[in-house]
Amino acid sequence: MGIRVAIIGAGMSGLCMAAKLQDAGIEDFTVFEKADEVGGTWRDNTYPGLACDVPSRYYAYSFRPNPEWSHMMPPGPEVFRYFRQFATERGIRRHIRFGADVTAARFRDGKWWLTSPAGVEEFDVLVTATGFLRVPRYPDILGLDTFTGPMFHSSRWDHSVSLSDKRIGLIGTGSTGVQITSALGGNVRHLKVFQRTPQWICPWPNLRVSEHTKAAMRRWTWLNSFGYWFWGGFVRSIFGVAPVRPGWQRWLYQTQCHWNLRLSVRDKELKKKLTPPDQPMCKRMIFAGHYYRTVQRPDVEIVTDPIVEVQPRGVVTADGTLHEVDLLALATGFDFHAYVRPLTITGEHGRTLDDAWADGPTAYRAVAVPGFPNMFMLMGPHAPVGNNSLVPVAEDQADYVMWWIDQLRSGRIVSAAPTEAATKQYNDAMKAAMPRTVWTTGCRSWYLGKDGLPELFPWEASRYAELLRSPQVSDFDVRTAAV
């Protein structure tokens, strides 16, 4: 039987889902994208120094390697170009509606009814692929709107503004702030980094890929597959394990971070400023090759006094100092807990997703929610986004969704949604396992949800793939045509 699928979002996950549908011979699908191009996070973020923090060979679809990566960790523009090329060569663009912001989705009479600028349309299956690094988080600072110079969030970088002649104030020292600092230090008039909490930095030189290596990758395609599985194994066996289980992997990473700071920063006062109060990996892992070298430059200053307010000419800190700057860059991250919102999704009996998530987002294996039949999420709550490359996670999730779609289009079932009991059991097991992770060791991070626990997967990344490879029909409320 024919089946119509709606995908919301044309980023990495949405394109992956589209390709899986094509591989299964399903062409009746529509990708709704509110922007004018594919790419998601990699389209929106263009700030100086942007690079992926996953080895390039492992940040590509397993079924579409890229022999053209220029560095061990791919620069942002190359990642964006990769996804644009993929959408074009796979013929996915003809399925995409750009500028189509879906505002509501309602399950009624066994169908999903989506509201977009084109009106209301019905689909058999709804797949949300809206990502989690999507909604910019702006700092709640008194007087922020009074600043008279250019000011923008890192994901809304204004490239029309010159930087070299500017005194720049950078608020934020997470992964984005570290990359921006490393790129701007020595290339602008002066850089002031306003640091609320220092971060642990893992030394990771981003080596350039030689032209000979690229040529070999083009000629012998098996080398690409070898690179994918080699780096995949490396990431899963070390960084996929270190945050979630005590052992030599955690010791190795934490030791690297400690020694990196100890050996890289000579000034005792600066070293004190840069020493975090928490354990390495408690927050998002940060990989950088020359951040510490950059912050020791005479034209770069780390400001640790808390920000009190922003005035027209600059930033005032708790010690009463007015730090005059010409430009403010806000590297203050994203609302990690937004998921599909502000889209209003209404499931059975008029219950909205906001109602279901009143106490915080939860899902069954990060892909489905009780009471929302035939709706699947890519990168939903508690996906393993803190210890694995997101690309293989998206592939595993898309394969799982395809298993259910195959059941639907075969006519064996007409709808499926996880049961409340199975979802609760799964989430209770995650909560019980969470204390073993480094994410619960006392830091304040954007991973934490309303209950104070990380919205992450508390086991090894490889275990998540195993869970999705074995669909448990008994965990679902399955309805057949005879019902």
Kind of pairing, strands 314-317 and 307-311? antiparallel
The C-alpha atoms of residue 28 and residue 88 are separated, in whole angstroms, by 18
The pLDDT value recorded for residue 481 is: 81
Contacts (Cβ under 8 Å, ≥6 apart) of 229: none
**Phi and psi at residue 61, in whole multiples of 5°?**
-60, 140
User: For the segment 253-278, what is each residue's pLDDT rounded down to a tens digit?
Assistant: 999 999 999 999 999 999 999 999 99
User: For the segment 3-38, what is each residue's pLDDT rounded down to a tens digit?
Assistant: 999 999 999 999 999 999 999 999 999 999 999 999
Nearest in space to 398 (alpha carbons), one of 105, 95, 61, 101: 61
* Mean per-residue pLDDT over the chain, rounded: 95
Average pLDDT rounded to a whole number, residues 150-156 = 97
Give the per-residue SS3 of the chain.
CCCCEEEECCCHHHHHHHHHHHHCCCCCEEEEECCCCCCCHHHHCCCCCCECCCCHHHCCCCCCCCCCCCECCCEHHHHHHHHHHHHHHCCCHHHEEECCCCCEEEEECCEEEEEECCEEEEECEEEECCCCCCCECCCCCCCHHHCCCCEEEHHHCCCCCCCCCCEEEEECCCHHHHHHHHHHCCCCCEEEEECCCCCCCEECCCCECCHHHHHHHHHCCHHHHHHHHHHHHHHHHHHCCCCCCCCHHHHHHHHHHHHHHHHHCCCHHHHHHCCCCCCCCCCCCCEECCHHHHHCCCCEEEECCCEEEEECCEEEECCCCEEECCEEEECCCECCCCCCCCCEEECHHHCEHHHHCCCCCCCECCCECCCCCCEEECCCCCCCCCCCCHHHHHHHHHHHHHHHHHHHHCCCCCEEEECHHHHHHHHHHHHHHHHHCHHHCCCCCCCECCCCCECCCCCCHHHHHHHHHCCCHHHEEEECCCC
Return the CATH number of the domain spanning residue range 144-201+244-280+286-330: 3.50.50.60
**Residues of the chain above pLDDT 70, percent:** 99
Within the chain, which residue ranges are assigned CATH 3.50.50.60?
A: 5-135+335-479, 144-201+244-280+286-330
Q: What is the value of pTM for the model shown?
A: 0.96
Residue 483 has pLDDT above 60, yes or no: no
The pLDDT value recorded for residue 205 is: 84
What is the CATH topology of the domain spanning 5-135+335-479? FAD/NAD(P)-binding domain (3.50.50)
Residue 1 has pLDDT above 80, yes or no: no
Average pLDDT rounded to a whole number, residues 174-198 = 96
Which pLDDT band, with edges at 50, 70 and 90, does 336 fall under?
confident
